[in-house]
Amino acid sequence: MESDTIIFSVSLIALGALVGRYLLSIPAELAARRAAEKRLASSEKAKEGAGAGLEGLAREQEVPKRLLIVLPVTAAQLTECRSQEDVARVVGEAAADLLEAREVAVLIRDHEFLRPIWTKSDDTKKPLDRPIRIPTGRLGELLKSGLVLSAEELPSGSHLPWSAAMWAPIRHRGELRGVIHVAHMLGRGKEAQRLLTVLGHMADSSFKTIELFDEQASSSKSLEVKVHERTVELRKAYEELKELDHAKDEFISSVSHELRTPLTSIRSFSELLLTFDDDDKQRREEFLTIINDESKRLTRLIDDVLDIAKIESGQTEWRLQKIDIADLVGNTVELQKPSAEEKKLRLRVESTGLQLVVADRDRIKQVMMNLLSNAVKFSPLGSEVMVSSMIDGPDVVVTIADQGAGVPRNARERIFMRFQQLGETNTGKTPGTGLGLAICKEIISRHGGKIWVEDNMPRGSKFSFSLPALPDADTETI
């Protein structure tokens, strides 16, 4: 039985997988027309009379013939596209080729406008690069319905933008996604409309594939970023753990060394006393004094180790209250006067006005005592130590300046670390535990302040620390 149509299939493959199949039905007139052509060729008179008709018939058959060649190539090219612009170019070139159109544009919906992303035109003066508003009214309804609009079939009084011959909608899930604009074309009629419908479907499927590809790429990129961030965090945590483990080993080593030094002295002089046969009372008192001093040093070391361990572990109780720094400075200086008088030092205080902070009074006093006792300890005989406190912007700053040997620039951060001291190299004085300044730094940091050291020109050092001052409104009462 003779069929009225010829049906052929075009498969669309994207990213290696079949994503669609386009079925085209073409009127089966080709065989009948070929037979008519043979009959006409047998008669010279008929041949001359039908010459124009055959030429027109051949032109009508151009679109169906090229479909079998162009559409499979177009489908293959679309599988290689990775952007909307690439898809628009492939679809637009296919429309221009199949319909012999001298003007083609592919537009994408952008809110209430259609924005051109690929154009081809012989008319350089035509503004095909400008967005146009989506048609409204009857024309807009027809466009959103999914029908290919032909200028020849529009209702009276209606016309397509840019003097188009045809507009083919690109739709996705019932919504307008874009438009294929064609003008100055030789291909016409239902066959051209069916062709543009197919190209619209192919464009939509390709856009959808690209969106899925972009989503997958974005998801993969996001995952890579998260994995990288997590890797960096884990690497940082690992490095911190290594540093903590190294610090722990150093701390244990330092504590062991510091404990061994006084214990060695205590044991040595105790053994000397046990075997000492001389009745020299002065020598015995000398040995006992050394044992007593080393015992005190050992006690201070143990107290400092326990103190800094409690602060770092968060087990310290902070008794926060409003305190006047100026008053605390005066009290600390009074406690250090006996030690200063032994070295004939002048203690000078510069602190006036109310300087309120919220802090643990005993802990801040501990910091002041440590800094002031160091200044007294390392100051030369007959020199001066100045203690000052003042409001400096949002902070209260306390400074203790001496005229000693000073602190080298390359040691100004190191001295606030555990078991770091300059006593032996700079002054020859008996060193402390090496934990005093580290404890000071921990205390000040817990109060939201800073501690630092700088030169005291022309000679000596200035140790300073800052604490957040109370606002004026909170300084009326203590």
Mean pLDDT, rounded, for 409-414: 78
If you classify domain 231-313 with CATH, what class do you get?
Answer: mainly alpha
Work out the mean pLDDT of the chain and round it to a whole number. Answer: 79
Handedness of CA 300, 301, 307, 308 (dihedral sign): positive
Confidence of residue 64 (pLDDT cuts 50, 70, 90): low
Altogether, the residues listed in the chain come to a count of 478
φ, ψ for residue 405, nearest 5 deg: -80, -15
CATH topology of domain 320-474: Heat Shock Protein 90 (3.30.565)
Q: Which residues contact 421 (CB under 8 A, 6 or more apart)?
A: 415, 431, 432, 434
Considering the chain, tell me which residue range(s) the CATH 3.30.450.40 domain(s) occupy.
Answer: 62-214
Q: Tens digit of pLDDT for each residue in 269-309?
A: 888 888 777 667 788 888 888 888 888 878 877 777 777 77
293-296-301 Cα angle (round to 5): 125
Full-model pTM: 0.45
Coil/strand/helix, residue 383: coil
Architecture per CATH, domain 62-214, reads as 2-Layer Sandwich (3.30)
Q: Tens digit of pLDDT for each residue in 204-224?
A: 989 998 888 888 888 888 889
Considering the chain, tell me which residue range(s) the CATH 3.30.565.10 domain(s) occupy.
Answer: 320-474
Mean pLDDT, rounded, for 316-322: 88
**Antiparallel, parallel or unpaired: β 395-401 and 175-183:** unpaired
Percentage of residues of the chain with pLDDT beyond 90: 26
